[in-house]
Amino acid sequence: MKRTPVSTALGITYPVLQAGLPWVSNPELVAAVSTAGGLGILHPTSGIEPGGDPVANLHAVVRRVQRLNQKPFGVAFYLPHPQIEQLIEAAAQEGITIAITYGGSPALLTGTLKEHGMTVIHQISTVRQARGAEAQGVDMVIAEGFEGGGLRGVDKVSTMVLVPQVVSSISIPVIASGGIVDSRGYLAAMALGAMGVQMGSRFVATKECISHQKYKAAMLAAIDSGTVVVGGDKWPTRVLKQGVALQMRESSQEGDEDDMATWEQELGIERTRAAFLDGDFDAGVAYTGAGTGLISEILTVPEVFKELIDGRLSLARKLV
């Protein structure tokens, strides 16, 4: 797997990022991804108890990753978080140098992050957002197609269409995300002009991830139509087609309200905890990408990277 500007700038061997998913981007998973040569991404909710202090928790989990792994890793920052500035300060105090930002305008805190010496990677879902992020000084963008899990862009642009247009529109490196779970997706993303990939669902379905076994089993059982988009046109959110998510779809209770508070209550991060950690799909929803239908077994993180490397080489030979 050739080095790219993404792997070079981030100090990693392979241009593969593990998405910073709430609750289940646990230190052991993050450390395993970074040790394997990719970039593990820690989420501030990892390991936090209900009612716990996110800032104190971030200090603790960052130190835990550092004890397990000596290679680079990053932290995902949800920009609308009420304690976002304190979380950034905590990460900086712990020596974090890579930030992934999402859920808001890069104009908000890119300057602050860069003042702390961090490389800033912002997640976008349209060409307009990519251009805006570049203008605000971010170092890279993650172009997230509609196939990805969680809150999606309202324009519903697919990865195949989004990535090459973003690549043609900006000069900073582009990382592809959405529906990528194996070497086929990796090779396709690179052919579209991306310089790296981000994967979420594939790393949830690993032995190192603390996601509940019922959640992992449901992912393995899913087929191509195993996810559903709820939240209406205002807040389209892709989740595993299980329990309450299926009821939302069937009853058309898709949260068309314009206010974000409604989305936070029905489909936000807090609503995912029960599904992610307890396997309770009646009480919670599970963000899951459409590519989950391509996942057929629970692997270790090193096995995921072996498939990416060996599979890519095999596919490349067939294309020659």
The number of residues in the chain equals 320
Closest CA to 132 of 26, 141, 68, 43: 141
Of residues 213 and 317, which shows the higher confidence score? 213
Both 265 and 119 in one domain: the answer is no
The DSSP call for residue 105 is -
227-255, pLDDT tens digit by residue?
A: 999 988 888 999 999 999 888 865 444 44
Q: Coil, strand, or helix at residue 102? A: strand
173-208, pLDDT tens digit by residue?
A: 999 999 999 999 999 999 999 999 999 999 999 999
- pLDDT score at 318: 67
Average predicted confidence (pLDDT) for the chain: 93
Confidence of residue 266 (pLDDT cuts 50, 70, 90): confident
CA atoms within 13 A on the CB side of 73: 33
Amino acid at 183: S
Both 192 and 97 in one domain: the answer is yes
Both 98 and 64 in one domain: the answer is yes
Both 228 and 98 in one domain: the answer is no
- pLDDT score at 181: 97
- pLDDT score at 257: 54
- pLDDT score at 75: 98
CA distance 195 to 5: 7
Both 96 and 227 in one domain: the answer is no
In a domain, 284, yes or no: yes
CA distance 285 to 295: 19
284-298, pLDDT tens digit by residue?
A: 999 999 999 999 999
- Say yes or no to pLDDT of 65 above 90: yes
- Say yes or no to pLDDT of 163 above 90: yes
Boundaries of domain holding 85: 5-209+298-315
CA distance 266 to 176: 28
Confidence of residue 90 (pLDDT cuts 50, 70, 90): very high
- pLDDT score at 320: 56
Percent of the chain with pLDDT strictly greater than 90:
84
Q: Coil, strand, or helix at residue 101? A: strand
Question: What torsion do the CA atoms of 185, 190, 195, 198 make, to the nearest 10 degrees?
Answer: -10
Give the strand pairing for 119-124 and 150-151.
unpaired
> What tokens appear for 23 in the block?
């609750």
- Say yes or no to pLDDT of 16 above 90: yes
Give the strand pairing for 237-240 and 150-151.
antiparallel
Range with the lowest mean pLDDT among 68-82, 234-248, 259-273?
A: 259-273
Q: Coil, strand, or helix at residue 257? A: coil
Contacts with 65 (C-beta within 8 Å, 6 or more apart), sequence order: 27, 30, 31, 34, 40, 42, 73
Confidence of residue 109 (pLDDT cuts 50, 70, 90): very high
Give the strand pairing for 140-144 and 174-177.
parallel
- pLDDT score at 86: 98
CA distance 78 to 76: 7
Q: Coil, strand, or helix at residue 98? A: strand
Both 49 and 146 in one domain: the answer is yes
121-132, pLDDT tens digit by residue?
A: 999 999 999 999
- pLDDT score at 262: 78
Q: Indicate the number of domains in the chain.
A: 2
In a domain, 320, yes or no: no
Both 82 and 169 in one domain: the answer is yes
Tell me what the mean pLDDT of segment 297-312 comes to: 93
Burial of 170 (0-12, 13-18, 19+ CB in 10 A): buried
Both 157 and 46 in one domain: the answer is yes
Closest CA to 38 of 60, 77, 69: 69
Tell me what the mean pLDDT of segment 76-100 comes to: 97
